[in-house]
Structure 1
Amino acid sequence: MQIFPERVRKLWNDWELRVTVVLSLCLQVVLIIFGNHRKFSTRNWVRVVLWMAYLSADWIATVSLGILAQNQGDSPDANVLITAFWAPFLLVHLGGPDTVTAYSLEDNELWLRHFLGLIVQVGVAFYIFLRSWTTHTLTFLALPIYVAGIVKYGERTWVLRSASSEQFRDSLLPPPDPGPDYAKFMEEFNSRNAHGLDASYQGVIEPPMFYEVKGNTIPEAKLLHEAFFLFNMVKRLFASLILSFQTRNDSARIVKFKSALDAFRIVEIELGLMYDVLYTKASVVYTRLGAFLRVVTFSSSLSALVAFWVMINKQDYSKIDTWISYLLLVGAIVLETYAVFLLIRTDWCLFWLSKKKNSLAIFFYQVLSSSRLALIGNKRWSESMGQFNLISVCLRDNPPPKHNWVMNSFFSIHKIIERYRYKTLEPVSIQLKELVFNQLHSKSNTCRSSADSKKFCSRRGDYVLEINNCIDEFQWSVTDVELDHSIILWHVATNLCYYSDLRRVEEDDLDSKCKIAKSFSDYMMYILVWRPFMLPKGIGQTRYRDTCAEARRYFDDKRIAIDNITQACMALFGVSTEIPPKVVKGDRSKSVLFEGCILAKLLQKLETREGWGRERKWEMICDVWVEILCYAAIQCEWNVHAQQLRRGGELLTLVSLLMAHLGFSEQYQISQGHARVEFVQSLYPN
C-alpha cells in the first residue's frame, strides 16, 4: 500500500534535487546575514533562526550531494550534466560564510569531525565530477567552482581547529624558557672561588617596555591601536594562561588614565575581536593569505558566471535548471561581495588602514569609521543589560493550569514563558559605566602589591560597608552568606527601599544613584536566574524558587489589598520582623524574603543617622552592588564569558576584562625581572 500517489512521488523525484540545492543557497544567505548580528543582538528570534540555519545548512548540502551521486548514470545526458555542475557549489555551501563558523564553542572542539566531513564530501563531489565527465564545456566550467569550494571548506575546518581550546591555547604559549644556564653559572662561580677571584653577583632587572601610540593623525585610531595591543593579553586571559606583572603594568598604564567611556570602548573593541576569533573566519580572512584566497574564490565564481553566460547553449538544458545554475553562480558572487563589504567595515580593516600614513588610507578610514554608525549601529556588543525583578514575577496573576501536565511538567513551558515575560532589557548608561570604572580606578590606586589586588578581588560589598562605618550592621548580608544569598537579599531590600522612596517623591526627583542601584539589582537577579553558570557554584536556583514560593503565598493572602509592585513592597515593609525568620522557618526552606525585609528596614534607618540622608544611602547601596558585580565578574571562568559573546555579550564580561586591565586578576603570576643574575664586572653572558 502506497502512502503517496505515484503522481506525487514522481513530482518529488523530479524536484527534490532542485528544492534542496536552492534551499541550501537560501540557508547560506540567512547565515551570512544573521551570523554577524548575534554579536550585538540579544533578540531571541535571531538566535533561533541562526541556530536552525546552522544545523540545517550542512545537512541539506550533504543530502543534495547524495542525491547528485545517486543520479549519475553511465551515459550522462544534458540534465545529468547540468545538475552535476551544481556539485561544487554545495562544497562552497559546506564551507559556510565568513560571519559564522561555530554556533557555540563546542563546535570548535568538533573540528576533527568536520575534517572527516571535508574528506568525504570532497570525495563525493569528485566522484560526481568523474561520473559526469565529458568533453563538454560545462564540465570544465565546474573546475574553478571546485577550487573555490575546496578553499572555503578547508578554511572552515582550519578555523574550527584554530579556535578549539587546545589549539588556541598552544598557539599562545611562548617558547620554552629554561632560564640562565645554572650548571655553567655554578661552574664559573666555583672556578672564581678556587682562583681567589671576586665571585660576587648581582640581580639584573629587565627594563620595562611601555607601549605608546605616536604620530598617528587619525584621532579615533589611538583607541583602536591600544585595543589591538591589549588584545594579545586578552587572548591569553581567555586561554587561561598566566600573565606577567609587566603585562599588568602595561595594560594598567593604558586603561588607567582613560575616561570611563574610552576604557569601556577599548574593552568593547577587544571583546569584538575575541568574538571574531572564536566564532568566525577572522583568523584566516584577516591575513594576507586570507585576502589572496578571497581573490581566488571570487575570481573563480566570476569567471564561471561569465563563461556560462557566453559559452553555454542554454537551449540544450531545461529552463528551470538553467535558471537554478544562474542563481547559484550569481548567489556565490553576491555572497562573496557581501562578505568583502562586511570585511572592510570591521575593526580589523580599520586597524590596517590606520597604520598607513598616506592620505588615501586616512580618507577611507574616516569614511568607513563614520559609516559604522549609519549601517550597523556602531555596536560591538548589545550595549544592554538584562533586567529581572523577583517581586514582579511573584505578582503574576495565576499559576499554570494543572490539567495541562504534559506542557507544564514535561516541557516546563510555563517556566520558560514566565521568564521571558518578565525579562526586559535596559541600555547600559554612561553614568553606570562611570560608576563601575571610578570604583575600580580608586581601588587600583590603593593597590601596592599583588596581595592587595587579591584582597580587593575577594570583596563583595564589605569594603564599601567598611568605609561607610556600617560593616557591623550589614556584614551578615554580605560576607557571612553565599553570593547568591547576598544577591537575593540585597535585591529584595533594594526594591523595597526604591518603591518606598518612590511613594515619598516623584520618580523624576529620585537620585540618579537610586535608579542605577535598582538597575544593578535587577541585572544581578537576571544573572542569577538566566545565567546562573556565570556565578560561583551554590544553591541560588533553590533560594530563588523558595523565595518566590513564599512571596507568592504572602501576596495571595493579601490579593485584595495589592494591585501593583509598590503596594506589594509596602505590604512587605509592614511585616513584623522582631523574631529572625530562621528561628521560625528552620533551615529546610531557603527563602530569604523576610531577611530582605529586615535588611531594607536597616537601610531605611540610615537616613536618620547624623551626616546621612537619602542620597548617601543610595550612594552606598549603589557602591555595594558595584562591588558585588565586580566580585561575580572576577569569579566567572573565561570560557563562560566567551560563551556569552555569541548572545550579544554581558556587562559582567566587560567588567571582568576591565578589572584584568587594571590588575585585578589571579592570572598575573610572573614576577617582573625574572630574578636573573650576573657576576659583577664579568663577561659571563646574561
Structure 2
Amino acid sequence: MVGGLIKVFNEWEIQLLVLLSFTLQLFLLFAGNLRRRRSNGFLRVLIWLAFLGADLVAVYALGLLSRRENNITTIIDKGSQPLAFFWAPFLLIHLGGQDTVTAFSMEDNNLWLRHLLNLVVQVVLAFYVFWRSIRSLDSLGFLTSGVLVFVAGIIKYGERTWCLKRGSLKGLESSTRVLTTWSFLHLDPAIQGYSKAVYDALRSVSYALHIFSARGYCMSNFYPPGDINQTVKIGRLQLGLVYDELYTKAVVLRTKSAMIFRYISQLSIVVAFGLFHAIVDKQRYAKVDIAITYSLFIGGFFIEVWSIILNSTTSPRTWLMLKRRKWERLAKLSWFIFSNDIIGLSEKKQRWPSSIGQYDLVGWMNGTRGTRFSQRVMTVVIRVFVGFFGGEKVNIFWMSKVLDTWYMDADEMTMACVAKEIIVLDYELRGMPTREWPNVGSMLAKRMQGFEQFFARTVVEMHVLTELLLNKYSRLLDSDMVASAEDYGSMVRVCRKLSNYMMYLLVAHPTMLPLTTSTAGLWINFQSPYKVSDLSKEMDKYDLQPTKETIEEMVHMWMRILLYAASKSRAELHVAQLANTGGELITFAWLVMAFFQIGDTQRRRISIMKTPNGETNAESKAYAFDVIASTSEHGSSRPSSSPDERAVVIE
C-alpha cells in the first residue's frame, strides 16, 4: 500500500510540485493584502508559510527538472513525451512573487543581494533545463513560445529583486524618492474630507519615507492645524503608503521603466500562449501535461490582469493622476472603486494601525485573566506547573508574554486622543499654556522621579495604579450614574487600553521603548499579588479620587508617556514593525510627531518633567509633564536625577 503510494507520487511528483507552486501564488495574490488589516495570528502564519513555501517549492521543482532525463518519469507511460521541461520558465515567474507581498519582513528587503544571487542561480538552472529540452520540442514555434515565457520569468524575478533593493534600509537611505511628490498639483477646492486626506497623504508620502529613513529634520507639515480627525486620517494613510513602498510592488505602478518591462512581460505571455495553442500536438504529449500547461498560461494571465486591475483601480495614485490630467469622469470612477467598501480600500479599511496589543500584568499578579482560549490555556499551564510540579510561577512568565497577550481594535476615539495630545504638545512647545494636572499632579511629581533611568519600573507601577483606580471608579458607577457611565465608559476603556498597551510594548517589544537596563529582574519583583496591595496603599498617599476628572487626566498621562517613548524610539524599529498587523500605535504617534518636528531626531526634543533647580523657560525647554519633581522622600523610593539629565533643550 505504502509502496504503491510512493510509486504514484514519484510518477506525479513534478506535476504536483508545479501545481502546488501555482496554487501558492494564487493564495498570496488574494491573501497578501489581508495581513495589513488583520491581526489574526493564524492567518499571518498561513501567509508566512505560503510566502516561504512558494520559493521553496519552485526552487525544488527546478532542481528536480535539472536531473537526468531518464530519471524523470511521465504521469502515465503511454509512449507520450514529457512536457515538464517546458515548465521551467513558469517557475521563474512564480519566483517573481506577487505584487501584494514582495517581502514579508524588513529582513527580506535587507537581504536583497542574496535574492539577486538566487536570481542568477535559478535563471542559469532554468536555462540549463530549457536548453536540454530543445531536442524534445517538435517545432520552432514551440521553441519561440518557451523563449518568450523565459523572458517573462526573468523580468518578473528581476522586478522582485529590484523592489527588495528599493525597500531595504540602504535603499531607503539612498533613494531619490524623497521630495519628489505631487506637491506641484493645484488643490481642487472640491476635494474635501477623506479625499482631501488622501491628497495630503500622497503629497507627503516621500516626506514620510524621509522620516522612516532617519535622514534628519522634517521641515514640512501636511496636517491641517487643529483638525484632529484629518490628522488621524492622513497619518493612517501615510503608514499605508509607506507599507506599500516597502513591502509590495507599488513602485512598479508609478515608474515608467518598470511599467515598460511589465508590459513586455505580459505581451510575451500572451504571444507565447498563442503559439503554444496553435502548434501543440495533443497526440504527442500527455493530456495531463497539456492541461497543466494550459492552466499555467491561463492562470498566469489571470494573475497578471487581476494584479493590474486590483492595484490600478484601488491605488489612490490612479485617482490623483486622473485628477491632474482633468479626466473628471474617469477620476470619479477611480475614486468610486478606490473608496468602495467591497472591492476598494475605503476609509474603513485604511486602519493603520489596525489593532492595539494588550497585556494585563495585574491579572498575572493576581491570577485572574480573561476568557480567551490562549488565556485559559495559560491558566491550566500555571495550575499544572505550580500546583502539580511545585515550580515557581516566575519561571513560566515567558509563556504568559505570548498566551496572555491579546489585541483590541484601534478605535477612532483612541486614535483621536493620540492626535489631539500631539497637537496640544505642539501648542505647548509654541509657548501656549501647558496642560494642568490638578488631580494627579502630586503623584506625577513623586512617581516620575528618575523616569528616564527607571522607565520600565515606572510604567509597571503606573499600570498597577491605573488598574486599581479604574476598578475603584467602576464600582462607584451605580444605577443613578447610568448617564455618566455612558459618557465616561469610553474614557475608561481608552485609559485601560493605553495602560495595557504600554505593558504590551514592555513585554513584547521592549526595544521600541527607551530602556536603560534589561527587564529580566523587573518581572521577578512583580510576581506576587502583594505588590498590588502595596501600590494600593501608595495610591491613598497621593489622594487619587475615582472621579471623572481623574480618569481624564490618567488618559492624558498615558498619552504623554506614549509620546515620550515615541520621541525616543528609532526609525529602523518602526520600519520593521510596519509589516506586522498594520504597525504599532507608537509608530503612528512617532510619525505624526515627526511631522510636527517633535522627537529626538527632529528639532524639538522633550524631557519628562521639571526638576526643582531646573530652568522653566518655555521657549528653551519642553516637558511631557509640566510639574516640578518633588524633593520629598514621601511616596518615592527611587533616587532623583540631576537637572541636566531631565531637561532637554529644544534645538
TM-score, with structure 2 as normaliser: 0.79
Q: Look up the match of 1:290.
A: 258
Change (3 A) 1:301 1:236: same
Q: Look up the match of 2:91.
A: 90
Contact 1:272 1:381 in 2 (8 A): yes
Q: Is 2:202 the counterpart of 1:228?
A: yes
- 1:229-282 alpha-carbon deviations (Å, 9 max, x no partner): 222221111111112xxx53x31xx31425212111111111111111111122
> Which amino acid in 1 is paired with 2:317?
W
Q: Is 2:354 the counterpart of 1:383?
A: yes
Q: Look up the match of 1:446.
A: 428
Contact 2:178 2:206 in 1 (8 A): no
- In 2, Cα distance between the equivalents of 1:287 and 1:216? 29
- 1:68-106 alpha-carbon deviations (Å, 9 max, x no partner): 111436999986551111111000011111111211111
Contact 2:502 2:562 in 1 (8 A): yes
- In 2, Cα distance between the equivalents of 1:530 and 1:74? 50
> Which amino acid in 1 is paired with 2:62?
L
Corresponding pairs, count: 566
Q: Is 2:503 the counterpart of 1:499?
A: no
Change (3 A) 1:10 1:158: same
Secondary structure (helix, strand or coil) at the match of 2:104 reads coil
Contact 1:536 1:636 in 2 (8 A): yes
Q: Look up the match of 2:159.
A: 155
Q: How does 1:3-18 map to 2 (within 5 A)?
A: 5=3, 7-18=4-15
Q: Look up the match of 2:375.
A: none
Match of 1:338 among 302, 306, 311: 306
Q: How does 1:238-637 map to 2 (within 5 A)?
A: 238-243=212-217, 247-248=218-219, 250-251=220-221, 254-257=222-225, 259-344=227-312, 345-372=314-341, 375=344, 378-394=349-365, 395-396=367-368, 397=379, 399=382, 401-402=384-385, 418-448=400-430, 467-468=437-438, 471-481=441-451, 482-506=454-478, 509-510=484-485, 511=488, 512-539=490-517, 541-542=519-520, 545-551=523-529, 554=530, 593-594=532-533, 596-602=535-541, 605-607=543-545, 614-637=547-570
- In 1, Cα distance between the equivalents of 2:383 and 2:287? 56
Match of 2:37 among 11, 36, 40: 40
- 1:607-656 alpha-carbon deviations (Å, 9 max, x no partner): 3xxxxx71221121111111001111122211111112111211111111
Contact 1:305 1:329 in 2 (8 A): yes
Change (3 A) 1:20 1:475: same
Contact 2:439 2:553 in 1 (8 A): no
Of residues 379-388 and 516-525 in structure 1, the stretch that sits farther from structure 2 once superposed is 379-388
Aligned sequence identity (%): 27
Cα shift at 1:337: 2.1
> Which amino acid in 1 is paired with 2:213?
A
- 1:350-397 alpha-carbon deviations (Å, 9 max, x no partner): 332332312222222332233245555523435321222112234255
Secondary structure (helix, strand or coil) at the match of 1:126 reads helix
Contact 1:354 1:365 in 2 (8 A): no
Contact 1:98 1:281 in 2 (8 A): yes
- In 2, Cα distance between the equivalents of 1:144 and 1:264? 48
Contact 1:488 1:596 in 2 (8 A): no
Contact 1:490 1:596 in 2 (8 A): no
Q: Look up the match of 2:620.
A: none
Contact 1:95 1:152 in 2 (8 A): yes
Secondary structure (helix, strand or coil) at the match of 2:527 reads helix
- In 2, Cα distance between the equivalents of 1:294 and 1:380? 30
Secondary structure (helix, strand or coil) at the match of 2:339 reads helix
- In 2, Cα distance between the equivalents of 1:540 and 1:76? 59
Q: Is 2:214 the counterpart of 1:214?
A: no
TM-score, with structure 1 as normaliser: 0.75
Contact 1:218 1:354 in 2 (8 A): no
> Which amino acid in 2 is paired with 1:151?
I
Change (3 A) 1:221 1:484: same
> Which amino acid in 2 is paired with 1:160?
L
- 1:332-354 alpha-carbon deviations (Å, 9 max, x no partner): 11211221132020233333233
Q: How does 1:92-171 map to 2 (within 5 A)?
A: 92-133=93-134, 134-136=137-139, 137-171=141-175
Contact 2:437 2:553 in 1 (8 A): no
Structure possessing the higher relative contact order (Cα contacts under 8 Å, 6 or more residues apart): 1
Change (3 A) 1:75 1:57: closer
Higher helix fraction (1 or 2): 1
- 1:3-53 alpha-carbon deviations (Å, 9 max, x no partner): 974x55543331111111111111112222222211121111122112111
- 1:394-439 alpha-carbon deviations (Å, 9 max, x no partner): 4255515349999x99xx9x66764454333322333323322222
Q: Look up the match of 2:371.
A: none
Secondary structure (helix, strand or coil) at the match of 2:356 reads strand
The alignment yields a C-alpha RMSD, in angstroms, of: 3.3
- In 1, Cα distance between the equivalents of 2:171 and 2:406? 38
Contact 2:21 2:54 in 1 (8 A): yes
- In 2, Cα distance between the equivalents of 1:362 and 1:614? 52
Change (3 A) 1:381 1:135: same
Cα shift at 1:468: 3.0
> Which amino acid in 1 is paired with 2:471?
Y
> Which amino acid in 2 is paired with 1:428?
A
Cα shift at 1:547: 4.8
Change (3 A) 1:483 1:440: same
Of residues 153-162 and 28-37 in structure 1, the stretch that sits farther from structure 2 once superposed is 28-37
- In 1, Cα distance between the equivalents of 2:463 and 2:518? 13
- 1:115-169 alpha-carbon deviations (Å, 9 max, x no partner): 1111111111111221111452433221221111000000111111122212221
Secondary structure (helix, strand or coil) at the match of 2:334 reads helix
In structure 1, stretches of 5+ residues that fail to align are 176-209, 457-462, 555-591, 608-612, 671-686
- In 2, Cα distance between the equivalents of 1:505 and 1:230? 46
- 1:272-308 alpha-carbon deviations (Å, 9 max, x no partner): 1111111112223332233333322223223333433
Q: Look up the match of 1:662.
A: 596
Q: Look up the match of 1:24.
A: 21
Cα shift at 1:595: 5.2
- 1:512-561 alpha-carbon deviations (Å, 9 max, x no partner): 4333211211111121122222112245643663255212xx5xxxxxxx
Of residues 260-269 and 433-442 in structure 1, the stretch that sits farther from structure 2 once superposed is 433-442
